[in-house]
Structure 1
Amino acid sequence: MYLGIWFLKGNAMKHTALLVSLLLGMAQAQGLKDLAQKHDLLIGGAIDLRYLLDDPDYTDILEKDFNVLVAENAMKMDATEPQQNEFNFALGDLLATYASKHNMKLRGHTLLWHQQVPKWITSGTWNKDELEAIMKNHIQTVAAHYQGKVFAWDVVNEAISDSGGMRDTLWQKTLGDDYIARAFRYAREADPEAKLFYNDYSSEGMNQKSNDVYALVKKLKEQGVPIDGVGMQMHLSVLNPPSMEEVAANMKRLADLGLEVHITEFDVRSAGYPGTPAERHAAVGKLYGDVVKVCVQASNCTAFMTWGVADNHTWLPGDSPLMYDGFYNPKPAYFAVQEALKGQ
């Protein structure tokens, strides 16, 4: 292309140069969300509201590459109900307004979890009926507030134990195992349109935990509980990556239940990787690309989201787990996702 320009003269050369400039500008402007669109795939990340407010380089990434957002902390229970029946939606509303303004979808995370529970709950003494009322009121108040703004909720988060079976939590101990089914029903009553997900970690491959998650959601489906999908968090490591064949098989068995899959909290640990920094980044990138390829090929994988945006604001500091470095430059992980979405 460039050699041909040198043989042009006058207006022809100017017009050709302008055309090349426009084409290059269009290519540079095409973000990950544009590539993901042909796969009907949502792509995005978890948002720290501090950066959303005062970091234009941060928001430039969101607006170029993402079409779905989730709050890291602003919609969790301790943030939304810091005192009993006193709700605070200020930060969540800020993110919802931003997402709507930029034509992005918004995931809600999370209505019920055993962590980041407000102190007024953990320091109290509650019987079953009292805690049930607290759970119902919280779920329905928050879900109703964001009706029409949040398109999908992580209704229950991390309820399966790492050692197998149900996790021993305040909710499970007081309300019994079937609190999960009731939580989903309360959410559906409050927002009939939002998609409802169960979300967990270390459950992407075929293992005891993923089998327990599968058994849980299969039982919920059989009971007629309104569950639409499973969130696979996918906090991975290059030192022990999952089998992509197992990830695909796991997604397939969930598809057979009629459930969507969202990859909800993707990042990749690489500390201790035996190689140069360049080799380390390449290994992280390969894992990003491999997972996106599996997601694109699965009929029911409809979202890929990272837990954070850039390496200067991650829960894994020093581990370079995300697609952008601390100066907001795209890393090999970014380009691996780009190529996976292009089908190359």
Structure 2
Amino acid sequence: MERRSFLAFAGGALCLRAVPACAAPARALREIASPKGIAIGSIFSHAASEDERQLIRQHCDVVVTENALKPNWLYRALIKPGTLQSEKACGDVSPLQDKDETCLKLVDTTLDFAKASNLGIHGHPVYWAKHGLPGIEALDEDSYTAAWEAHIERLVAHVPDAVSWDVINEPFSKDLDRLRAGGSMALEADKVLGADWERLLDHYAFVIKTLRRVLEPHQKTPRLLLNEAELDGTGDAHQRKRALLPALLAGLESRHAKLDGVGLQCHLSMRSRPDGAATATFIRNLAADGYVAHISELDFRATCGTADSAEAVQASYVGDFLDQVLAEPSVKRLSFWGLSDENHVFTRDRRDDFAKLSPTLFGANRRPKAVFDRIVAAIEAAPER
């Protein structure tokens, strides 16, 4: 018996003796998904317990640090004296704030965990308009460009082995996205107009080309994606985003800045039933244009009366959705916004209705919930890719 198998067996036996209620170990999702050509991923949180870490090690191929790579937090933390020709080009280089340092430590903790666990790293994100570089809006164009180039260089140097990046995150935000020089554009999915749209595409293309240039000396070819929310449902915003996003991708391609794929966040909720058929069609159309897809941040929010009923609804909604989406061969990764309910952000926010939310795959003591079996069935039914 191989050492890893023996240890897993021994650990399970001890668990059964010490804690009779402990669930039997679930089948590893990555081992089920690998023959299909689907990678499994999860976030790594600063609040990750040892149970959560064990789940990630067992089930995942790829890990992403939870929100800590936001440019507004890392920009100052990554600056080191003497690394830039001019501090003016950096914009705001005030002393590091606690949040900056904390996020950098979380990035480093995630990198260490991934290396020790033989996991790939997904970078999230490079550019996110509502979390832009601090203090650079008033810079002239050359200094603004230099600040972004310097940040991307430092980011890649700090995370050199990422297997993929969300280069552009949430371009169709509900917020007002500031581009530069104090200008702002309403990037609601129904208000993309004229010169603002062209300027935005130019800026996105610059970020993508800069990242590719910085990656070249490292001889790395990670998958580069655009990551967006609300592409999976039946509401008007979801439909408008699915209609507009291909135009954004085409605009980038016309600027010789084609991305490799799209991440669909899929924060599903029973408030608005996910539309698996429409999402699958959207993914199929992306594939026809040469783009792969990731399910990038899957979780679920139930609003049921009891925890048991929430788990049943979760299994139905998520299972039905993935049955249709994973049938598309261009879906290359299935990533979760955490694996266990007790480590999910809903718990950390101390939401009173936590027991009714059922966001993830596992309950307490790594107990696989009904949704786990539905996800396994969806993966097993999916075609190879």
Q: TM-score range by the shorter chain?
A: 0.7 to 0.9
Check whether the contact 1:312–1:327 (CA below 8 A) recurs between aligned residues: no
1:99 to 109, 114, 123: 114
How far the C-alpha of 1:261 sits from its partner, in A, is 0.7
The C-alpha deviation readout for 1:82-103, integer Å capped at 9, x for no partner, is: 3583497543233223223323
Which amino acid is the alignment partner of residue 269 of structure 1? R
Q: Bigger CA drift: 128-137 or 150-159? A: 128-137
What aligned pairs does 1:131-146 form with structure 2 within 5 A after superposition?
131-146=144-159
1:168 to 169, 173, 177: 177
Q: Identity of counterpart residues, as a percentage?
A: 24
SS of the residue aligned with 2:346? coil
SS of the residue aligned with 2:63? strand
Structure 2 Cα separation of the partners of residues 180 and 102 of structure 1: 34
Check whether the contact 2:29–2:60 (CA below 8 A) recurs between aligned residues: yes
Match in the other structure for 2:329? 299
1:335 to 373, 376, 381: 373
What aligned pairs does 1:198-217 form with structure 2 within 5 A after superposition?
198-204=226-232, 207-217=239-249
SS of the residue aligned with 1:160? coil
Structure 2 Cα separation of the partners of residues 146 and 186 of structure 1: 15
What aligned pairs does 1:2-17 form with structure 2 within 5 A after superposition?
none
Check whether the contact 1:110–1:156 (CA below 8 A) recurs between aligned residues: yes
How far the C-alpha of 1:29 sits from its partner, in A, is 6.3
1:309 to 316, 330, 339: 339
CA 1:154 to 1:101, structure 2 compared with 1: closer, same or farther past 3 Å? same
The C-alpha deviation readout for 1:277-309, integer Å capped at 9, x for no partner, is: 433211211222233333431121111111122
How far the C-alpha of 1:202 sits from its partner, in A, is 0.5
1:183 aligns with 2:177: no
What aligned pairs does 1:1-344 form with structure 2 within 5 A after superposition?
28=25, 30-51=27-48, 55-82=49-76, 85-86=79-80, 89-117=104-132, 120-121=134-135, 125-147=138-160, 149-162=161-174, 168-171=177-180, 173=183, 176-177=199-200, 178-192=202-216, 193-204=221-232, 207-271=239-303, 273=304, 276-317=306-347, 318=354, 319-343=357-381
Structure 1 Cα separation of the partners of residues 323 and 255 of structure 2: 33
Check whether the contact 2:167–2:226 (CA below 8 A) recurs between aligned residues: yes
Check whether the contact 1:292–1:304 (CA below 8 A) recurs between aligned residues: no
How many pairs does the alignment contain?
Answer: 311
Q: List gaps (5 residues or longer) in structure 2.
A: 1-8, 14-23, 81-99, 185-195, 348-353
Q: Which structure has more RCO (C-alpha within 8 Å, separation ≥ 6)?
A: 2
Structure 2 Cα separation of the partners of residues 152 and 278 of structure 1: 37
Question: TM-score scaled to structure 2, two decimals?
Answer: 0.73
CA 1:182 to 1:335, structure 2 compared with 1: closer, same or farther past 3 Å? same
SS of the residue aligned with 1:111? coil
Which amino acid is the alignment partner of residue 341 of structure 1? I
Structure 1 Cα separation of the partners of residues 154 and 111 of structure 2: 16
Structure 1 Cα separation of the partners of residues 177 and 107 of structure 2: 29
Structure 1 Cα separation of the partners of residues 270 and 374 of structure 2: 15
Which amino acid is the alignment partner of residue 109 of structure 2? L
Structure 1 Cα separation of the partners of residues 297 and 287 of structure 2: 20
How far the C-alpha of 1:116 sits from its partner, in A, is 4.1
How far the C-alpha of 1:114 sits from its partner, in A, is 2.8
Question: TM-score scaled to structure 1, two decimals?
Answer: 0.81
Structure 2 Cα separation of the partners of residues 223 and 126 of structure 1: 25
Q: Bigger CA drift: 176-185 or 217-226? A: 217-226
Check whether the contact 2:266–2:299 (CA below 8 A) recurs between aligned residues: yes
Check whether the contact 2:276–2:322 (CA below 8 A) recurs between aligned residues: no
CA 1:104 to 1:73, structure 2 compared with 1: closer, same or farther past 3 Å? same
